[in-house]
Amino acid sequence: MSHLFEPLKLGTLELENRIVIAPMCQYSAVDGSAQNWHLIHLGNLALSGAGLLIIEATAVSPEGRISPADLGLYSDENEAALGHVMKVLAKQSNMPVAIQLGHAGRKGSSHAPWDGGSQIRPGEPEGWKAEAPSALPHADGEDVPIALDEAGLARVREDFVRAAERAVRLGFCGIEVHMAHGYLLHQFLSPLSNQRNDAYGGTLENRMRFPLEVFDAIRAAVAPHIPVWIRVSATDWVEGGWDLESTLALCAAVKERGCAAIHVSTGGVSPKQKIPVGPGFQVPFATRIKAETGLPTIAVGLITDPQQADAIVQNGEADAIALARGILYDPHWPWHAAAALGAKVSAPKQYWRSAPREFPALFKDSKIGQR
Protein backbone atom coordinates (compact mmCIF):
# COMPACT_ATOMS: atom_id res chain seq x y z
CA MET A 1 0.00 0.00 0.00
CA SER A 2 1.49 3.33 -1.07
CA HIS A 3 0.95 6.11 1.47
CA LEU A 4 2.06 8.72 -1.08
CA PHE A 5 -1.01 7.93 -3.19
CA GLU A 6 -3.55 8.14 -0.38
CA PRO A 7 -6.00 11.07 -0.54
CA LEU A 8 -5.46 14.20 1.56
CA LYS A 9 -7.67 17.11 2.59
CA LEU A 10 -6.41 20.69 2.95
CA GLY A 11 -9.40 22.28 4.62
CA THR A 12 -12.27 21.39 2.32
CA LEU A 13 -9.98 20.80 -0.66
CA GLU A 14 -9.66 17.10 -1.49
CA LEU A 15 -6.48 15.87 -3.17
CA GLU A 16 -6.36 12.42 -4.72
CA ASN A 17 -2.74 11.93 -3.70
CA ARG A 18 -0.03 13.65 -1.65
CA ILE A 19 2.20 14.89 -4.46
CA VAL A 20 2.19 18.68 -4.75
CA ILE A 21 3.77 20.72 -7.53
CA ALA A 22 5.49 23.62 -5.80
CA PRO A 23 5.39 27.17 -7.17
CA MET A 24 8.23 27.81 -9.64
CA CYS A 25 8.86 31.27 -11.08
CA GLN A 26 9.07 31.28 -14.88
CA TYR A 27 10.08 34.92 -15.48
CA SER A 28 8.09 34.85 -18.71
CA ALA A 29 5.22 37.31 -18.20
CA VAL A 30 4.75 40.67 -19.92
CA ASP A 31 3.67 43.48 -17.59
CA GLY A 32 2.52 40.78 -15.19
CA SER A 33 0.34 39.02 -17.75
CA ALA A 34 0.60 35.30 -18.52
CA GLN A 35 1.80 34.35 -21.99
CA ASN A 36 1.67 31.26 -24.20
CA TRP A 37 4.62 29.87 -22.24
CA HIS A 38 2.46 29.69 -19.11
CA LEU A 39 -0.24 27.82 -20.98
CA ILE A 40 2.24 25.23 -22.28
CA HIS A 41 4.16 24.97 -19.02
CA LEU A 42 1.16 24.69 -16.71
CA GLY A 43 -0.74 22.51 -19.16
CA ASN A 44 2.12 20.03 -19.11
CA LEU A 45 2.21 19.95 -15.31
CA ALA A 46 -1.59 19.66 -15.07
CA LEU A 47 -1.37 16.33 -16.92
CA SER A 48 1.28 14.91 -14.56
CA GLY A 49 -0.98 13.07 -12.13
CA ALA A 50 0.03 15.12 -9.08
CA GLY A 51 -2.58 15.83 -6.42
CA LEU A 52 -2.22 19.62 -6.54
CA LEU A 53 -0.60 22.23 -8.78
CA ILE A 54 0.40 25.54 -7.18
CA ILE A 55 1.29 28.10 -9.81
CA GLU A 56 4.30 30.35 -9.44
CA ALA A 57 4.71 33.26 -7.04
CA THR A 58 2.27 35.83 -8.42
CA ALA A 59 2.91 39.46 -7.59
CA VAL A 60 0.13 41.47 -5.98
CA SER A 61 1.46 44.76 -7.39
CA PRO A 62 3.94 45.93 -10.03
CA GLU A 63 6.50 46.89 -7.37
CA GLY A 64 5.93 43.50 -5.72
CA ARG A 65 7.46 41.63 -8.64
CA ILE A 66 10.86 39.98 -8.32
CA SER A 67 11.69 40.79 -11.94
CA PRO A 68 10.04 42.77 -14.74
CA ALA A 69 8.96 39.42 -16.21
CA ASP A 70 7.17 38.11 -13.11
CA LEU A 71 3.60 36.88 -13.25
CA GLY A 72 1.16 39.29 -11.61
CA LEU A 73 -2.49 39.53 -10.65
CA TYR A 74 -2.91 43.25 -10.07
CA SER A 75 -4.69 44.45 -13.22
CA ASP A 76 -7.65 43.56 -15.38
CA GLU A 77 -5.21 42.63 -18.14
CA ASN A 78 -3.39 40.22 -15.78
CA GLU A 79 -6.70 38.68 -14.75
CA ALA A 80 -7.85 38.18 -18.34
CA ALA A 81 -4.57 36.59 -19.43
CA LEU A 82 -4.40 34.19 -16.49
CA GLY A 83 -8.11 33.51 -16.87
CA HIS A 84 -7.49 32.18 -20.37
CA VAL A 85 -4.86 29.80 -19.01
CA MET A 86 -7.18 28.61 -16.25
CA LYS A 87 -10.06 27.97 -18.66
CA VAL A 88 -7.88 25.78 -20.86
CA LEU A 89 -6.50 23.86 -17.86
CA ALA A 90 -10.00 23.23 -16.49
CA LYS A 91 -11.15 21.75 -19.79
CA GLN A 92 -8.22 19.33 -20.05
CA SER A 93 -7.44 18.36 -16.45
CA ASN A 94 -9.26 17.69 -13.17
CA MET A 95 -6.18 18.56 -11.12
CA PRO A 96 -6.86 21.20 -8.45
CA VAL A 97 -4.92 24.41 -9.11
CA ALA A 98 -3.94 26.84 -6.36
CA ILE A 99 -2.03 30.11 -6.54
CA GLN A 100 0.82 31.53 -4.48
CA LEU A 101 0.46 35.26 -3.85
CA GLY A 102 3.54 37.25 -2.90
CA HIS A 103 5.44 40.50 -2.80
CA ALA A 104 9.19 40.56 -3.40
CA GLY A 105 9.96 43.45 -1.06
CA ARG A 106 13.63 44.42 -1.15
CA LYS A 107 14.41 41.51 -3.50
CA GLY A 108 12.34 43.15 -6.22
CA SER A 109 13.59 44.86 -9.38
CA SER A 110 15.99 42.06 -10.30
CA HIS A 111 17.07 40.43 -13.52
CA ALA A 112 15.83 36.93 -14.34
CA PRO A 113 18.19 34.15 -13.17
CA TRP A 114 19.44 33.43 -16.70
CA ASP A 115 20.39 37.11 -16.97
CA GLY A 116 22.42 36.94 -13.77
CA GLY A 117 19.70 37.70 -11.20
CA SER A 118 21.37 40.95 -10.11
CA GLN A 119 19.45 44.00 -8.99
CA ILE A 120 18.15 46.47 -11.58
CA ARG A 121 18.66 49.87 -10.04
CA PRO A 122 15.99 52.58 -10.15
CA GLY A 123 16.49 54.66 -13.28
CA GLU A 124 17.83 51.75 -15.28
CA PRO A 125 15.56 50.28 -17.98
CA GLU A 126 12.71 48.30 -16.34
CA GLY A 127 14.00 49.05 -12.82
CA TRP A 128 12.08 50.46 -9.86
CA LYS A 129 12.58 51.46 -6.23
CA ALA A 130 11.97 48.44 -4.01
CA GLU A 131 10.08 48.63 -0.72
CA ALA A 132 10.70 46.74 2.51
CA PRO A 133 10.10 46.72 6.27
CA SER A 134 13.33 48.67 6.83
CA ALA A 135 15.71 50.67 4.67
CA LEU A 136 18.16 47.78 4.45
CA PRO A 137 19.31 46.30 1.11
CA HIS A 138 19.34 42.56 0.59
CA ALA A 139 23.05 42.52 -0.26
CA ASP A 140 25.91 44.94 0.22
CA GLY A 141 26.12 47.52 -2.54
CA GLU A 142 22.50 47.22 -3.64
CA ASP A 143 20.08 50.12 -3.74
CA VAL A 144 18.47 50.89 -0.37
CA PRO A 145 14.73 50.12 -0.39
CA ILE A 146 12.00 52.42 0.88
CA ALA A 147 10.78 51.51 4.39
CA LEU A 148 7.02 51.07 4.23
CA ASP A 149 5.08 53.64 6.25
CA GLU A 150 1.56 53.25 7.59
CA ALA A 151 -0.01 54.18 4.26
CA GLY A 152 2.31 51.77 2.46
CA LEU A 153 1.38 48.92 4.77
CA ALA A 154 -2.31 49.56 4.17
CA ARG A 155 -1.71 49.62 0.41
CA VAL A 156 0.17 46.31 0.43
CA ARG A 157 -2.53 44.63 2.56
CA GLU A 158 -5.17 45.78 0.11
CA ASP A 159 -3.04 44.61 -2.84
CA PHE A 160 -3.01 41.09 -1.37
CA VAL A 161 -6.76 41.20 -0.85
CA ARG A 162 -7.51 42.39 -4.39
CA ALA A 163 -5.23 39.73 -5.86
CA ALA A 164 -6.95 37.06 -3.75
CA GLU A 165 -10.35 38.22 -4.95
CA ARG A 166 -9.14 38.05 -8.55
CA ALA A 167 -7.80 34.54 -7.92
CA VAL A 168 -11.18 33.39 -6.63
CA ARG A 169 -12.91 34.80 -9.70
CA LEU A 170 -10.50 32.82 -11.88
CA GLY A 171 -11.40 29.55 -10.19
CA PHE A 172 -8.30 28.84 -8.12
CA CYS A 173 -9.13 26.26 -5.47
CA GLY A 174 -6.72 27.53 -2.80
CA ILE A 175 -4.43 30.42 -1.92
CA GLU A 176 -0.89 30.08 -0.60
CA VAL A 177 0.44 33.23 1.06
CA HIS A 178 4.18 33.56 0.43
CA MET A 179 5.96 34.20 3.73
CA ALA A 180 9.22 32.53 2.71
CA HIS A 181 12.43 32.82 0.69
CA GLY A 182 13.35 36.31 1.82
CA TYR A 183 10.43 38.12 0.20
CA LEU A 184 8.42 40.89 1.83
CA LEU A 185 6.41 38.99 4.46
CA HIS A 186 9.48 36.95 5.41
CA GLN A 187 11.41 40.23 5.62
CA PHE A 188 8.95 41.42 8.27
CA LEU A 189 9.39 38.17 10.22
CA SER A 190 13.19 38.07 10.28
CA PRO A 191 15.16 40.32 12.63
CA LEU A 192 17.88 40.38 9.97
CA SER A 193 15.68 42.43 7.63
CA ASN A 194 13.22 44.02 10.05
CA GLN A 195 14.78 46.68 12.26
CA ARG A 196 11.69 48.83 12.75
CA ASN A 197 11.02 50.51 16.07
CA ASP A 198 7.24 50.72 15.75
CA ALA A 199 4.48 48.16 16.32
CA TYR A 200 5.76 46.11 13.37
CA GLY A 201 9.31 45.58 14.57
CA GLY A 202 11.37 44.48 17.54
CA THR A 203 9.65 41.64 19.39
CA LEU A 204 8.54 38.41 17.74
CA GLU A 205 4.93 39.43 18.26
CA ASN A 206 5.52 42.73 16.50
CA ARG A 207 7.46 41.20 13.62
CA MET A 208 4.64 38.72 13.02
CA ARG A 209 2.01 41.46 13.10
CA PHE A 210 1.99 42.53 9.45
CA PRO A 211 2.19 39.01 7.92
CA LEU A 212 -0.71 38.01 10.19
CA GLU A 213 -2.67 41.10 9.16
CA VAL A 214 -2.20 40.10 5.52
CA PHE A 215 -3.32 36.54 6.27
CA ASP A 216 -6.37 37.77 8.18
CA ALA A 217 -7.32 40.14 5.37
CA ILE A 218 -7.14 37.41 2.74
CA ARG A 219 -8.96 34.89 4.91
CA ALA A 220 -11.77 37.41 5.49
CA ALA A 221 -12.00 38.32 1.81
CA VAL A 222 -12.49 34.84 0.35
CA ALA A 223 -15.24 32.31 0.94
CA PRO A 224 -14.80 29.89 3.87
CA HIS A 225 -14.66 26.86 1.56
CA ILE A 226 -11.50 28.15 -0.15
CA PRO A 227 -8.46 27.06 1.90
CA VAL A 228 -5.75 29.60 2.65
CA TRP A 229 -2.32 28.45 3.81
CA ILE A 230 1.22 29.78 4.07
CA ARG A 231 4.69 29.01 2.72
CA VAL A 232 7.35 29.54 5.37
CA SER A 233 11.10 29.55 5.60
CA ALA A 234 11.52 27.65 8.86
CA THR A 235 15.00 29.08 9.39
CA ASP A 236 17.20 31.78 7.86
CA TRP A 237 20.28 29.55 8.30
CA VAL A 238 21.96 32.64 9.81
CA GLU A 239 22.82 33.10 13.48
CA GLY A 240 20.46 35.60 15.07
CA GLY A 241 17.90 35.27 12.28
CA TRP A 242 14.44 33.75 11.98
CA ASP A 243 14.44 30.21 13.38
CA LEU A 244 12.29 27.15 13.96
CA GLU A 245 11.00 28.25 17.35
CA SER A 246 9.78 31.51 15.79
CA THR A 247 8.24 29.56 12.93
CA LEU A 248 6.31 27.41 15.39
CA ALA A 249 4.90 30.55 17.00
CA LEU A 250 3.83 31.84 13.57
CA CYS A 251 2.23 28.51 12.68
CA ALA A 252 0.30 28.45 15.96
CA ALA A 253 -0.97 31.95 15.23
CA VAL A 254 -2.17 31.15 11.70
CA LYS A 255 -3.76 27.92 12.93
CA GLU A 256 -5.99 30.01 15.20
CA ARG A 257 -6.90 32.07 12.14
CA GLY A 258 -8.03 29.11 10.04
CA CYS A 259 -4.86 28.24 8.14
CA ALA A 260 -5.31 25.02 6.16
CA ALA A 261 -1.66 23.88 5.90
CA ILE A 262 1.99 24.85 6.21
CA HIS A 263 4.29 24.53 3.19
CA VAL A 264 7.75 24.28 4.69
CA SER A 265 10.94 25.57 3.09
CA THR A 266 13.98 27.45 4.45
CA GLY A 267 16.35 30.32 3.75
CA GLY A 268 16.36 33.20 1.30
CA VAL A 269 16.50 36.32 3.45
CA SER A 270 20.28 36.77 3.58
CA PRO A 271 23.23 36.05 1.28
CA LYS A 272 25.08 35.05 4.48
CA GLN A 273 23.01 31.88 4.84
CA LYS A 274 24.86 28.59 5.19
CA ILE A 275 22.58 25.77 4.08
CA PRO A 276 23.55 22.10 4.61
CA VAL A 277 22.01 20.90 1.37
CA GLY A 278 21.27 17.18 1.05
CA PRO A 279 18.41 14.79 0.25
CA GLY A 280 15.37 15.74 2.34
CA PHE A 281 17.35 18.34 4.29
CA GLN A 282 14.25 20.44 5.03
CA VAL A 283 11.96 17.59 6.04
CA PRO A 284 12.78 17.71 9.80
CA PHE A 285 11.35 21.24 9.95
CA ALA A 286 8.06 20.04 8.47
CA THR A 287 8.05 17.12 10.90
CA ARG A 288 8.40 19.39 13.94
CA ILE A 289 5.72 21.78 12.69
CA LYS A 290 3.34 18.89 12.02
CA ALA A 291 3.97 17.39 15.46
CA GLU A 292 3.52 20.61 17.42
CA THR A 293 0.68 22.28 15.51
CA GLY A 294 -1.30 19.36 14.12
CA LEU A 295 -1.63 21.22 10.82
CA PRO A 296 -1.05 19.37 7.54
CA THR A 297 2.48 20.02 6.38
CA ILE A 298 3.97 19.92 2.91
CA ALA A 299 7.68 19.04 2.81
CA VAL A 300 10.02 20.11 0.04
CA GLY A 301 13.74 20.04 -0.73
CA LEU A 302 15.67 17.42 -2.72
CA ILE A 303 12.92 14.83 -2.46
CA THR A 304 13.48 12.98 -5.72
CA ASP A 305 13.05 9.24 -5.07
CA PRO A 306 9.56 7.66 -4.87
CA GLN A 307 10.52 5.40 -1.96
CA GLN A 308 11.98 8.40 -0.13
CA ALA A 309 8.78 10.39 -0.67
CA ASP A 310 6.56 7.48 0.37
CA ALA A 311 8.58 6.92 3.55
CA ILE A 312 8.24 10.58 4.55
CA VAL A 313 4.46 10.27 4.44
CA GLN A 314 4.36 6.76 5.93
CA ASN A 315 6.53 7.77 8.88
CA GLY A 316 4.39 10.81 9.62
CA GLU A 317 7.19 13.25 8.87
CA ALA A 318 4.91 15.26 6.59
CA ASP A 319 1.47 14.93 5.06
CA ALA A 320 2.54 15.66 1.50
CA ILE A 321 5.69 16.22 -0.49
CA ALA A 322 6.27 18.99 -3.00
CA LEU A 323 8.31 18.76 -6.17
CA ALA A 324 9.86 21.72 -7.96
CA ARG A 325 12.96 21.25 -10.12
CA GLY A 326 12.43 17.49 -10.01
CA ILE A 327 9.12 17.63 -11.82
CA LEU A 328 10.49 20.05 -14.41
CA TYR A 329 13.15 17.47 -15.16
CA ASP A 330 10.67 14.60 -15.11
CA PRO A 331 7.12 15.91 -15.75
CA HIS A 332 5.71 12.39 -15.34
CA TRP A 333 7.35 11.81 -11.96
CA PRO A 334 3.98 10.90 -10.37
CA TRP A 335 3.46 8.21 -13.03
CA HIS A 336 6.89 6.75 -12.39
CA ALA A 337 6.36 6.94 -8.62
CA ALA A 338 3.04 5.12 -8.90
CA ALA A 339 4.67 2.40 -10.97
CA ALA A 340 7.51 2.02 -8.47
CA LEU A 341 5.13 1.91 -5.48
CA GLY A 342 2.43 -0.30 -7.01
CA ALA A 343 -0.18 2.45 -7.01
CA LYS A 344 -2.58 3.97 -9.52
CA VAL A 345 -2.42 7.51 -10.89
CA SER A 346 -4.64 9.71 -13.04
CA ALA A 347 -3.61 10.31 -16.64
CA PRO A 348 -5.35 11.70 -19.74
CA LYS A 349 -7.16 9.02 -21.71
CA GLN A 350 -5.08 10.01 -24.72
CA TYR A 351 -2.04 8.66 -22.83
CA TRP A 352 -3.52 5.44 -21.42
CA ARG A 353 -1.81 3.35 -24.10
CA SER A 354 1.59 4.50 -22.81
CA ALA A 355 1.45 2.31 -19.68
CA PRO A 356 4.37 -0.17 -19.77
CA ARG A 357 3.44 -3.85 -20.13
CA GLU A 358 4.71 -4.59 -16.63
CA PHE A 359 2.30 -1.96 -15.20
CA PRO A 360 -0.95 -2.55 -17.10
CA ALA A 361 -3.13 -1.19 -14.25
CA LEU A 362 -1.09 1.98 -13.69
CA PHE A 363 -3.67 4.52 -14.86
CA LYS A 364 -6.96 5.06 -13.07
CA ASP A 365 -10.11 4.44 -15.13
CA SER A 366 -8.12 3.11 -18.08
CA LYS A 367 -10.13 0.85 -20.36
CA ILE A 368 -7.36 0.16 -22.82
CA GLY A 369 -7.19 -3.52 -23.60
CA GLN A 370 -10.75 -4.18 -22.39
CA ARG A 371 -13.63 -5.15 -24.70
Partnered with residue 52 across adjacent β-strands are 20
CA 42 – CA 86 distance, rounded (Å):
9
Q: Which fold has domain 8-354?
A: TIM Barrel (3.20.20)
- Which sequence spans correspond to the domains of the chain? 8-354
Predicted confidence at residue 368, as pLDDT, reads 76
Partnered with residue 15 across adjacent β-strands are 8
Strands (E), the chain: 8-10, 13-15, 19-21, 52-59, 97-102, 131-132, 146-147, 175-179, 228-233, 262-265, 297-300, 320-323
CA 161 – CA 159 distance, rounded (Å):
5
Instruction: Note the pTM of the prediction, 2 decimals.
Output: 0.97
- Using the Cα atoms of residue 306, residue 275, residue 23 and residue 205 in order, give the sign of their dihedral: positive
CA 359 – CA 6 distance, rounded (Å):
19
User: What are 63-106's pLDDT values in tens digits?
Assistant: 999 999 999 999 999 999 999 999 999 999 999 999 999 999 99
Instruction: Give the residue numbers annotated as catalytic, written as ranges.
Output: 183
User: What are 227-239's pLDDT values in tens digits?
Assistant: 999 999 999 999 9
CA 227 – CA 298 distance, rounded (Å):
14
pLDDT tens, the chain, 371 aa long? 799 999 999 999 999 999 999 999 999 999 999 999 999 999 999 999 999 999 999 999 999 999 999 999 999 999 999 999 999 999 999 999 999 999 999 999 999 999 999 999 999 999 999 999 999 999 999 999 999 999 999 999 999 999 999 999 999 999 999 999 999 999 999 999 999 999 999 999 999 999 999 999 999 999 999 999 999 999 999 999 999 999 999 999 999 999 999 999 999 999 999 999 898 899 999 999 999 999 999 999 999 999 999 999 999 999 999 999 999 999 999 999 999 999 999 999 999 999 999 999 999 999 875 53
Exposure of 360 by Cβ count < 10 A (0-12 exposed, 13-18 middle, 19+ buried)?
A: exposed
CA 144 – CA 130 distance, rounded (Å):
8
Predicted confidence at residue 371, as pLDDT, reads 36
DSSP string, 271-284: TT------TTTTHH
Residue 209 and residue 200 in contact, taking contact as beta carbons nearer than 8 Å? yes
User: What are 283-295's pLDDT values in tens digits?
Assistant: 999 999 999 999 9
Distances (CA, A) of 265 to 22, 125, 281, 289, 312: 11, 33, 10, 12, 15
CA 314 – CA 292 distance, rounded (Å):
18
